[in-house]
Structure 1
Amino acid sequence: MTESRSSYYEVLRVAVTATDKEIKVAYRRAARTAHPDHGGDAAAFRQVTAAYETLIDPTRRKAYDRSYAAGTAGRTAGAGDSEAHFDAPAAGSHASATVHRPSTPRNTAGDPALYLPPYDSAAFEAAGTVPLIPFSQASQQVHGMPRKRGIFGAEARIQREMRTVQLITRQVLPAIPAARLVNGLQSPADNSHIDHALMSGYRLALIGSMLLPKGAYAWDGQTLNHGGRSIAPPQLAHVVRAMQDIFPELNVTGWTVIHSPDGNLHEPVIDRHRRTSGAGETVQVVNAAGLVRGLKHFLSSGPTPNTVNVPILARLLRGMH
């Protein structure tokens, strides 16, 4: 991987949680090495300078973080791998098809979490690098919590998002130790937010939440129909496509979970009506029980579901609002 593909944090060899003081110290160290007067080259020095100017400015750093700027995610396969494992793309994406080495055993989702790259202090010291995020942070299964943003409907939104967090925390995360739930991401497609992102291995689920009365709803791929009334769920398809383009090594899907007022996981009932031939299933609309079943199957059926890809997790955490 060339330096031009590295993130600014990797260029300066600092963690994404680095303070201004740590960034300044890292810049002076990197600048001495990269400067042409000390045996470096002009291109490397320009990159070090650009990294410093971006990360030392709070406004520019926030914008950079929320752009999910590319790093070396997906290129950190374990020792002995000649190529990274990456999953088949979601319907309608332009990502590469499934690739995995036939001789590589398929790990089960219930196995203890493995980290790529491993948290090996000797290896980091030999390479002159630092972990992008501390192990204490990488080992957490839940990152961030729903919080107020905007003015209208904040309390109701927080309540339904909290239901989703509790549902995933209690019924999905214990079954998949490597799964990481990140709440409140900036959408790369517009100025909105992604309620929840759940990643394990090389699969990423983007999840939105709704609260609707009990009953039977028909989902036709665009709207929920109930009693002659049409309800449009959160618009996730364009966000899924944008995140798939940013993370081509992942299989990115979208889910909207419909909660019932009384907390019954099997209500409301969501019936899927026949859709237009050839339409891609970019986003699935399900009740709480359907979300649990669907997420467990989606995450556990991917390649190496017991791995935590640290560079990708670091990029997601940088994108939190």
Structure 2
Amino acid sequence: MTPRLPSHYEVLGVSITASLKEIKAAYRRAAREHHPDHGGDPEEFHRVTLAYEVLSDPQRRKAYDSSYFAASPQRGPTGASWSPGTGGTDDGGAHPPSSARAGEWSPGETFSAQRRSPRPQRNQAGEPAVYEPPFAEGAVPLIPRDLAARREHGEPRRRGIFGAAARIEREQRTAALIRKFVLAEIPSARLLNGLRSPDGSTYIAHAVLAGYRLALVDSMLVPVGNYAWNGEQLLHGGRGATPPLLGGQVRMFQELFPELNVQGFVLVQTPDPGLHQPVIDVHRNVTGGIEPLNASKFTRELKFFLASGPQPNVVFLPAFARLLTGLHA
């Protein structure tokens, strides 16, 4: 497995919230330590220089952050650049627990497959959150402790003029459900509202990180009633409604975060705030795809997905830091 190379922030030993002054000071320290004229490693000095070139330039730093650290990658001893999907973990040396690597999950495994063969284990999801890697005295963490302790980050993005109020209301209702039924029961869960897509042209309404699992969430609004899901559309009264297409986003995030298991969830809302509306029947021959869920099933499935992963009580700081940089300003 190809070792994961550190991010520019890790190379300089600064937080993702570091100011330009802090970055310059960290660069001077690291350059003195690793300069070849002082007996340092030339490859490490190259990493320090590249990190400073990117993070000291506001435009390059913004592009690096919004790409979830995939732009301007560091390079290994052979000169080959690291990119998402080449293996390793994005944790500066920490890995998911050995039980996870031994086959408890894999990034390509589908949620439905996991549901068919659950493993008996004690429920860790309700335990107090622990940070990985842990905060250490004297070390500068990727995320300041107070920021890492916050359960919710970001807010619905105001995009466009027409329909913006309806979208924001829908996203606020979705966030409220996640807050009430997931954050309240899984202390490690972190909700991020309003992420840039890795492709730079689209928008992910919500993401929930808990342990080594990441859920991408979007929503839609339909009239009250009974619906049928045929794998592509929600059918009602001879008409069909196409849910948000999250599949491509899930694939992109899975490539960017190979150390996580990434899944998509679509919440179907109605003007009725009840959890069991609308009623959605699924055609027998439907396989695969992201099934649209009413609020009751959505909260149940989302909570199960996050809570049943390896070490669900962990706040995985390297992945969390990258997601925070992807928030819309």
Report the TM-score when normalising by structure 2: 0.84
After superposition, the Cα gap between the structure-2 partners of 1:76 and 1:12, relative to the gap in structure 1 and judged at 3 Å, is: same
Indicate whether 1:110 and 2:126 are aligned: yes
Unpaired stretches in structure 1, ≥5 consecutive residues? none
- 1:57 is matched with 57
* SS of equivalent to 1:172: helix
Structure 2: where are the runs of 5+ without partners? Answer: 71-88
Give the superposed CA RMSD: 2.6
**Letter of the structure 2 residue corresponding to residue 87 of structure 1:** W
Does the CA-based 8 Å contact 1:74-1:249 persist in structure 2? no
> 1:225 — aligned with what?
235
Compute the displacement of 1:225 (Å): 1.3
1:119 corresponds to which residue? 135
Question: Counterpart of 2:21?
Answer: 21
Give the residue type in structure 1 aligned to 2:271: P
Deviation string for 1:28-62 (max 9, x for gaps)?
11111121111123322222111111111222111
Aligned partners of 1:88 and 1:256: how far apart in 2? 22
Paired with 2:35 and 2:123, the residues of 1 have a C-alpha distance of: 45
Partner of 1:36: 36
Q: Aligned match of 2:159 in 132, 149, 154?
A: 149
Taking the aligned partners of 1:88 and 1:43, their CA distance within structure 2 comes to 32
**Equivalences for residues 168-207 of structure 1 within 5 A:** 168-189=178-199, 191-207=201-217
**1:41-92 CA deviation, whole Å, 9 max, x = no partner?**
33222221111111112221111111112673284249xx679757323557
For residue 311 of structure 2, the aligned residue among 304, 307, 311 is 304
- Correspondence list, 1:75-90, <5 A: 75-77=93-95, 87-90=105-108
Q: Secondary structure at the match of 1:207?
A: strand
1:147: Cα distance to partner? Answer: 2.8
The one-letter code matched in structure 2 to 1:225 is L
**Counterpart among 63, 72, 82 of residue 90 in structure 2:** 72
1:262 positional shift = 2.4
Q: Does 1:247 align with 2:262?
A: no
Which residue type is aligned with residue 273 of structure 1? H
Amino acid at match of 1:301: S
Which AA in structure 2 matches 1:118? Answer: P
Amino acid of the structure 1 residue aligned with 2:314: T
d(CA) in 2 for partners of 1:261, 1:83: 44
Counterpart residue identity of residue 318, structure 1? T
Instruction: Give deviations 1:246-294, integer Å, cap 9, x for gaps.
Output: 1112111101101111211111111111345xx534x231011111111
**One of 265, 278, 291 as aligned partner of 1:284:** 291
C-alpha separation between the residues in 1 aligned to 2:172 and 2:197? 19
Matched, 1:234 2:250: no
2:307 corresponds to which letter in structure 1? S
Q: CA deviation at 1:2?
A: 9.5
Which residue number in structure 1 is paired with residue 5 of structure 2? 5
Aligned residues: 301
State the secondary structure of the residue aligned to 1:62: helix
**Aligned partners of 2:310 and 2:98: how far apart in 1?**
16
Cα distance in 2 for residues equivalent to 1:286 and 1:38: 61
| Equivalent AA in structure 2 for residue 249 of structure 1 | E
Taking only the aligned residue pairs, the percentage that are identical comes to 54
SS at match of 1:266: coil
Letter in 2 for 1:64: Y
> Is the alpha carbon distance of 1:169 and 1:225 closer, same or farther for their aligned partners in structure 2, counting shifts above 3 Å?
same
